[in-house]
Amino acid sequence: MPSLLAVYAHPDDESLSSGGVLARNAASGGRTAVVTATWTEGTHRAAELAEAVRLLGASEKPRLLGYADSRVPASAPGSPRLCEAPLDEAVGRLVAHIREFRPEIVLTHDGYGGVTGHEDHVRTHRLTVLAVQAAGYERLYPEAGAPWQPRALYLASHPHSAVRPLAELGLPTDDLRTVPDDRITTTVDVRPWLPQKWAAISAHRSEAERGAAPGLLAALREELRDRILGTEWYIRQDLITGGEETELTVRRVPS
C-alpha cells in the first residue's frame, strides 16, 4: 500500500471526508498520517483529533500547521487565522511536512472546500495544491528539507447524485457544493471500515455536542448514517507522468 498523507482544515475533517480510506490504508500496512491546518496542541479539539487519528490506525500523531480556525480565534492563541496567514508561509510549513513524511499520495479538500464550502477548507485546498508541487522543487523552500514529489493528489468531493441522503442531515441542498458525477475519478466503498470511521468521527465529542456534523450524524438511524458514510469520492490529479504512470495507476487509492 502507498504512503498516504491527508491534509485537512479542521479536526474532524479527516474522519468525515477520508476516514474510510485512511483506515483501509493503515490496516493494509501503508504509512498513514494526517496534517491539520488549524487548532494547536493543548486545545480540546487537538486532543480529540489525536484520538481520532489513533482510532483510524495512523502511523503517528497528527501534525498541526498551527493556525487559528477562521471562526474560533482561541483555537490557536497568538497565531493568525488560517485565511489571513501569508499563503507563502503556510505553503512552506506544509512543504516541510510533505518532505519529512514523503507520501506517495496526498488527500485534501476539493476546490469547493467540500459540500459546506467552508472558507478554511477552500484555503487548505489551495495551499495543498501549491505545496504538493513545490515540495518537488529543490530551489523552493530549501530550508524545508530535501525535495520530494508525491505521485498523486486526491481531492475529497461529493457528486451531485449524493445529495439526497445528505439532505436528511438537514442541510439546505440548494447550497451544497457538489460536482457533476463525471468529475469523480475514484469511488471507494469503505463499508468494511465503517466501525473505525464512525469511532473516529465520534471521537470529536465537542463537535457532536454543539450540533455540528458528528452530532447530526449521531442523530440519524444507523442504516442512513452508514449509507452517507459508506462511500468516499475523490478527484485524482496525477503529479508524476510518463515513466511513472503505470506504477501510479497500480498504487492509487483503491476504487
Q: Give residue-wise pLDDT tens across range 4-29.
A: 999 999 999 999 999 999 999 999 99
DSSP string, the chain: ---EEEEESSTTHHHHHHHHHHHHHHHTT--EEEEEEE--TTSHHHHHHHHHHHHTT-SSPPEEEEEBBTTBGGGSTTS-BGGGS-HHHHHHHHHHHHHHH--SEEEEE-TT-TTTT-HHHHHHHHHHHHHHHHTT-TTSSGGG-S----SEEEEEE-BGGGHHHHHTTT--GGG---B-GGG--EEEE-GGGHHHHHHHHHT-HHHHHTTSHHHHHHTS-HHHHHHHHSEEEEEEEES--GGGHHHHHHHSPP-
Domain 4-251 carries which CATH code? 3.40.50.10320
pLDDT digits (tens, 9 = 90+) for 57-101: 999 999 999 999 999 999 999 999 999 999 999 999 999 999 999
Looking at residue 253, its pLDDT comes to 55
Quick one: average pLDDT of 29-55? 98
Quick one: average pLDDT of 231-245? 81
**Percent of residues, the chain, with pLDDT higher than 90:** 88
Q: Among candidates 20, 22, 18, which has minimal Cα distance to 1?
A: 22
Question: Structural domain boundaries of the chain?
Answer: 4-251
Band of residue 248 on the pLDDT scale cut at 50, 70, 90? very low
Looking at residue 174, its pLDDT comes to 77
Average confidence score pLDDT of the chain? 93
Quick one: average pLDDT of 224-237? 96
